[in-house]
Structure 1
Amino acid sequence: MTNPYKFVIGFKSLTNDLLIIKIKIMNKTDLIDAMAEQAGISKAAAKKALEGALTEIGSALKDGKRVSLVGFGSFSVSERAAREGRNPQTGKTIQIAAKNVVKFKAGSELSGAVN
């Protein structure tokens, strides 16, 4: 099993004290393991189910559809307009092209579960 923790190192803004935060993360393998245990199925079946679900969500979003999972949340695609930005190395103004971005809005049950 992989290390479920990610360490973020930074400084507290006012005192410049070193701040190390330990964040627990879940990756795809961990999710597959949890799905298999929760559903009482093999890891291979859980992997196939997860990959199928992610493929279908991606296909729906690519077609411009909104994907709503009641209680969990909804995925949608939004167009981000072209804009001007700055190259941080040179300070030069650059054009940033328009693009589509995926947005996620958490559902009420998910929001309640994390609070």
Structure 2
Amino acid sequence: MNKTRSRIVRFLLRNGPSSCGQIGIHLDASPSKVRRHLQLLRDAGLVQHSSAKFSASPEHVQRHVGALAAGFHVSVMPPQGPASMNQEQILPLGPQLGRRSS
């Protein structure tokens, strides 16, 4: 997660529902910059918006972080266990990288 978006989520978790202006004052950022980041956070399901205020709940954030970590582990971490020096491994990094020998 981007540093600014992380700071916004932490601010909302600590301070409760807040407007773009309130968040911007705390982060020393323009309301338009904060609004852009809040839109991305809302689209990702990390913050909610109602009555001109944004909020975040620890449950939503924890669920999102857990799903992100699980996806990262599955798609990036190498398989566990010993591998033969002559055994060819296919890494799940996408078609542009193809196959890689170990």
Q: TM-score, normalised by structure 1?
A: 0.29
* Structure number with higher relative contact order (C-alpha < 8 Å, ≥ 6 residues apart): 2
| Larger proportion of strand | 1
| Larger proportion of helix | 2
